[in-house]
Amino acid sequence: MIEVRDLRKIYVMGDEELAALAGVTLTIERGEYVAIIGPSGSGKSTLMNILGGLDRATSGDYRFEGEDVAHFSDDQLAEFRNRRIGFVFQSFQLLPRLTALQNVELPMIYAGVGVAERRARAAELLERVGLGARMGHRPTQLSGGQQQRVAVARSLANRPDLLLADEPTGALDTRTSEDVLALFGQLNAEGLTLAIVTHDPEVAQAARRRITFRDGLVVSDERTGVPA
Amino acid sequence: MNPLELGRFALGAILAHPMRSVLTSLGVVIGVAAVVMMTSIGLGAQQRVTQAISGLGSNLIIVTPNFQRGPVSQAAGAGVSLRDADAEAIRKQVADVAAVAPVVRGQGQLAADGANWNTRIEGVTPEYLDARDLTIAAGRMFDEREARQGRKVLVVGATVARELWGDDDPIGRRVRVRTVPFEVIGVLESKGQSGFGQDQDDVVLAPLSAVRSRIVGRRSRGDSVQTIYVKAADEESLDRVQEDVINVLRDQHRIRAGEDDDFQTQNMASILAASQAAVGTFTVLLAAVAGVSLVVGGVGIMNIMLVAVTERTREIGLRMAVGAKRSHVLIQFALESVALSLVGGLIGLAIGVGGAFLVAKLGDWPAAVPAWAGPLALGFSVAVGLLFGAYPSWRAARLDPIEALRRE
Ligand SMILES: Nc1ncnc2c1ncn2[C@@H]1O[C@H](COP(=O)(O)OP(=O)(O)OP(=O)(O)O)[C@@H](O)[C@H]1O
Ligand SMILES: [Mg+2]
């Protein structure tokens, strides 16, 4: 589903050049559950942002289901993020003025889904992540774990092909992390492709494939088979 | 996506900070209120001028001597005055003339039944009433014969009647005009204040020859008049009558081709047009000055919108991350700015209209809120919102989603 070849992201700061990605090549198949690990500053987030169409590589090839994402226009990228990708951030990134329900509706509004349909779907998704009773709450009225579950519901709104999560449990305690992790497990079991950046060994354990980064390069890529 | 949703986003942002939104649109409120008030006051002035000038008589041409006459014709010794003969000539030679009224004017003390009053004295012919659109309220106007004979009879204005006799009937009373005894035979219908602040009822009319011989006296030639009023039959013939009058008078005064006239003619229509143009220019000027405050209001909106873009950088980043196109962000912020300005415009319109009526009430001034004030005010506020919202919206739209999301 994803084919990345010799992907580079170079930041120029004054005279210095910094290669956040120094030539990454990898493929991810449909239905995979991939954990991306590695030390801080190794380029994990940079890769995720490029895969999610939030950022552009300096050079290299990125194909998503055969489409040449690297050469998408801004509008094509927006549509790509809207329809194909679900993104979960470490810091949740919910809009504080909106209720949980409205936050989940947001991607569907940009997709042009009608009011009744998107409201029903948002409610269904919140139900699904166990927040059926909290739909009218604003983010400030929710715990961290609840907020992250709203964010997961939002990422699923337009039935994406790929769910990207950048340290989704980084701001959560162990117990709530487990809830979110269980949710990811279920989603993958239902066929959703997942790529998760994490420092959490437990999260990494849950995945069936671990890609390790160092200095902008893939240093190991191991499949662990079906987790216990 | 449905563009209405972008409007909903914009409204949501405005309603999230009601106080701030109101303060932001205050500049536009003041600007629009000022523009509406100024144009209304200007239009009121225009109506008042129109009223004042048409009050002098409709389809009227006023002929007066030209004192700025060139030295050449002065040497010819034609004199500066108009004469009875000129009026006669106009009457005989110009077509479509409804009335020709030569006038001799004086000022003098009236004494009657122990009261005194100083007023304007106009020596006229009966046609004068027609020319100036005057009517008799009581009694009668003197007739042609009385006028020719120079009978010492008076038709008095309402103010004069009130000052000399109060509520008593003035008809048949004796009045001394500068010691010359006259008899009152009529009272003029009141015309009230003229638009120029002059009391049009403070006047008496007497036969021209009587005023000339008894009151104006020896100071002028025996057949001169100060003004000749010529009333055209209708509006269409006004310009042609004016031209004919000029030709007849040039002939009368033996002015050769190329020489300047020794008289001048003004027709009410052109006086009206000129004054309206002057007031109109003044109004535009006032409105332009008021418009400056509208610009200041726009800058206020731009300022707050720039702040909003900075404050909401993360929101913009998130919207882009979940699928908003740059155009969606652009339109959302532009709508927000237009809505702020439009609300300001609506409030300003209400205040402006209210203010115009208040000024009218307090200042005895006609309130004339033009019909186009509404569309104009709203059009302007939308334009201001678009113009000054353009730069902040563009800034929002060109943000990089990743950097925007990272912003604290
Ligand atoms: N906008 C930027 N300008 C300059 N350098 C940047 C920028 N963004 C990232 N970098 C650099 O790129 C490198 C990779 O960053 P990245 O965020 O991908 O690391 P990471 O693997 O996600 O680290 P962490 O685990 O701490 O989140 C880092 O050295 C970082 O300093
Ligand atoms: Mg990172």
Which residues of A are less than 8 Å from B313 in CB distance? none
pLDDT grade, residue B244 (50/70/90)? very high
**Confidence at residue B218, expressed as pLDDT on a 0 to 100 scale:** 54
Question: How far is the centre of ligand 2, averaged over its atoms, from the C-alpha of A51 (Å)?
Answer: 14
SS3 A224: coil
**Confidence at residue B262, expressed as pLDDT on a 0 to 100 scale:** 84
pLDDT grade, residue B182 (50/70/90)? very high
What's the Cα-to-Cα distance from B248 to each of A53, A100, B128, rounded to whole Å?
A: 91, 92, 20
In a domain, A108, yes or no: no
Query: Any idea what the CATH number is for the domain that residue A169 is in?
Result: 3.40.50.300
Read off the pLDDT of residues B139-166 as tens digits, 9 standing for 90 and up: 999 998 888 888 999 999 999 999 998 8
CB pairs under 8 A between A and B: 63
Q: How many alpha carbons fall within 13 Å on the CB side of residue B36?
A: 32
Report chain A's mean pLDDT, rounded to a whole number: 93
In a domain, A115, yes or no: no
pLDDT tops 80 at residue B69: no
pLDDT tops 70 at residue B241: yes
Distant-in-sequence, close-in-space partners of B11: CB < 8 Å, separation ≥ 6? B339
Which residues of A are less than 8 Å from B320 in CB distance? 54, 78, 81
pLDDT tops 70 at residue A61: yes
**Confidence at residue B290, expressed as pLDDT on a 0 to 100 scale:** 82
- State whether B327 and A111 contact (CB < 8 Å): no
- DSSP-derived letter for residue B216 is I
In a domain, A175, yes or no: yes
Percent of chain A with pLDDT over 90: 84
Instruction: Say which of B13, B315, B322 has its CB closest to residue A82.
Output: B322
Which residues of A are less than 8 Å from B328 in CB distance? 78, 110
**Confidence at residue B341, expressed as pLDDT on a 0 to 100 scale:** 95
Distant-in-sequence, close-in-space partners of B301: CB < 8 Å, separation ≥ 6? B24, B25, B27, B28, B337, B340, B341, B344, B384, B385, B388, B389
pLDDT grade, residue B193 (50/70/90)? low
Q: How many domains does chain A have?
A: 1
Average pLDDT over residues A93-114: 96
**Confidence at residue B190, expressed as pLDDT on a 0 to 100 scale:** 87
In a domain, A105, yes or no: no
Alpha helices (H) along B82-185: 84-93, 127-132, 144-149, 158-165
In a domain, A195, yes or no: yes
Whose atoms come closest to the Cα of A200: which ligand? 1
In a domain, A68, yes or no: yes
| Domain boundaries along the sequence of chain B | 3-52+276-406, 67-261
Alpha helices (H) along B104-183: 127-132, 144-149, 158-165
Distant-in-sequence, close-in-space partners of B204: CB < 8 Å, separation ≥ 6? B110, B119, B120, B121, B122, B154, B155, B156, B157, B160, B177
Read off the pLDDT of residues B81-99 as tens digits, 9 standing for 90 and up: 788 889 899 999 998 998 9
Domain span including residue A161: 2-94+145-223
pLDDT grade, residue B220 (50/70/90)? low
Average pLDDT over residues A100-107: 97
- Distance from C-alpha of A55 to C-alpha of A67, rounded to nearest angstrom: 16
SS3 A29: coil
Read off the pLDDT of residues A178-228 as tens digits, 9 standing for 90 and up: 888 899 999 999 999 999 999 888 888 888 899 999 999 999 999 876 554
Is the ipTM higher than 0.90? The answer is yes
In a domain, A160, yes or no: yes
- Distance from C-alpha of B308 to C-alpha of A202, rounded to nearest angstrom: 41
Per-window interface: A 48-77 vs B, CB < 8 A: 49, 52, 54-55, 74-75
pLDDT tops 90 at residue B257: no
pTM (whole model) above 0.95: no
- Distance from C-alpha of B333 to C-alpha of B13, rounded to nearest angstrom: 9
How much is the CA Rg of chain A, to the nearest whole Å? 17
In a domain, A162, yes or no: yes
pLDDT tops 50 at residue B204: yes
Calculate how close chain B gets to A223, using CA atoms only, in Å: 30
pLDDT tops 50 at residue B72: no
Per-window interface: A 83-142 vs B, CB < 8 A: 83, 87, 89, 93, 95, 97, 106-107, 109-112
pLDDT grade, residue B303 (50/70/90)? very high
Determine the residue of chain B that is closest to A89 in CA distance. Answer: B405
